[in-house]
Every structure is written in C-alpha cells, then in structure tokens.
Amino acid sequence: MEEGTIAVVRGKQIVIIKGVALRACAAAALRAVVDLGAGDGKWIYRLARVHPEWLCVAVDANAAGMREASRRAGRKPSRGGAANAWFIRASAEALPPALGGLADEIHIHLPWGSLPRGLLRPEPALLARIARLGRPGAVLSIRVNRSVLDDPLIQWRLLRGRPDGTRSTVSRGAPPSRPCVTLNPPSRPDGTRIDGTRREAIPPLPRRV
Ligand SMILES: C[S@@+](CC[C@H](N)C(=O)[O-])C[C@H]1O[C@@H](n2cnc3c(N)ncnc32)[C@H](O)[C@@H]1O
C-alpha cells in the first residue's frame, strides 16, 4: 500500500484512498473516536449514528468482520446510514501514519490474539504505536477479558502494579458475560504519562438505531 493511504472497508469492497480525506473529516468533526480491534464494527456504527457530528473510526485487521456495519453506514442517513463512520483495515502492528494524532478517544474492547498480551505486559513499542493515534490529551480506554489473567506475567503486573506506579483494577462487578479488567493509563515508553484518561463505562447505545 502506498505511503499515506488507508484501506477503507465498504461492504465487500476494500478501497485504498489517501489518508488526507480522513484527516479532513477529523478536522471538521467535534470529536474523533477510534475503536481498535473493532470486530464487527457495530459499536462504532452505533456511536456514529448517535453522534453525527463526531468522526467514528473502526480499525481491525480483519476487514470481513466490518462488512455489514460498513454496508449499513453507507446507506442514506434516513435508512440507517452514517457518513461519519469509517471502517479501516489495519493491524495494531502496522497502523497507517494517516491515523496519527487523530483521536480524542481510543477504545480497545475485548481484544484477542497478541493484542492483550502486548497491551498488558506491556510491550512499549505497541503502546507507542497506539498512543500515536491520539491527539494531545486523548483518552485511552482498554477493556480486556478476565481470561488474560491466565498469563502469569500479566497477572503479576496487574496485581503488583507497574514500574511507573500505575495500577489496574480487576472488576468483578462487570456483567457476567463481559468480565473485564479496566486499566489505569499506561505510561508512554518515553516516560510521559497519558494525561486526562478517565475510567468510564462504554457509552450506552441503543440496540437499534
Ligand atoms: C474478540 S474481538 C472484539 C471485537 C470488539 N472490540 C468487541 O468488543 O466486540 C477481537 C478483534 O480484534 C481484532 N484483532 C486482533 N488482533 C489485532 C491486531 N493486532 N490488530 C488489529 N486488530 C486485531 C480481531 O480481528 C477481532 O476482530
């Protein structure tokens, strides 16, 4: 893929476009939200429907999962469309530079594969790449399945805290179907803290919009 381009999922198609188009939308938006490891992209789709003045960006390595949500978003607004929702095929390990410095909020919900391990152990290079998605003062919210605690190193980090003194909270009160661990903000590898991060519930969204 050419430098400065992004792979945009539109139903069954993947369209390679220049990243400046996305950046122009971000500049015009009241708020920009990125969901990394977005899965089926429905969370971003719903968020975009509820907040048409926001830019809502789903990013996932698997384009096929986002087909349906991107197809719906491409319809007229009166028929469920959301022109402010973008669906981008990209992996956390190779995020397109065009996404850099774009987000007011970065969400990672229930990641799997290498992602939770990289986030929680943590792997500074991965965190640095993710942190680069944010504008100064961006919020990073990570929610992981409690099964990640099976990794002894992650368990140790969560229970003992990290070298920078940040700690994590294991939430046993979460709905049983979605147990999660909510993290305090990780440090950036350059030693700076990501400020202004709040612990918040995933915004309640209507099931059908
Ligand atoms: C369990 S699903 C969670 C989906 C969604 N966030 C949710 O809460 O329903 C995990 C998603 O992370 C994506 N994923 C895993 N590793 C990834 C990576 N390194 N970069 C981007 N996406 C990744 C997978 O393709 C999958 O869609």
Residue ranges for the chain with pLDDT beneath 70: 146, 155-209
Has residue 138 been placed in a domain?
A: yes
**Domain containing residue 110: CATH number:** 3.40.50.150
* 188 within a domain of the structure (yes/no): no
Q: How far is the CA of 209 from the centre of ligand 1 (A)?
A: 23
Question: Could you give the CA distance from residue 82 to residue 74 in angstroms, rounded to a whole number?
Answer: 7
**118 CB within 6 A, ligand 1:** no
The answer to whether the CB of 38 is under 6 A from ligand 1 is yes
Residue 195 within any structural domain of the chain: no
Helices (H), the chain: 19-28, 42-50, 67-73, 114-120, 124-131, 152-160
pLDDT at 148: 73
Range of the domain at 75: 5-183
Helix then strand then coil, in percent of the chain rounded to 5, is 30, 25, 40
Compute, in angstroms, the gap from residue 60 CA to the centroid of ligand 1. 6
**pLDDT of the residue at 173:** 40
pLDDT score at 159: 59
Let me know if residue 120 belongs to a domain: yes
DSSP 125-164: HHHHHHHTTEEEEEEEEEEE-GGGGGSHHHHHHHHH--TT
pLDDT tens digit sequence for 47-103: 999 999 999 999 999 999 999 999 999 999 999 999 999 999 999 999 999 999 999
64 Cβ below 6 A of ligand 1: no
Check pocket membership of 91 for ligand 1, CB cut-off 6 A: yes
Within a domain: 128: yes
Residue 176 in domain: yes
Would 147 be classed as within a structural domain?
A: yes
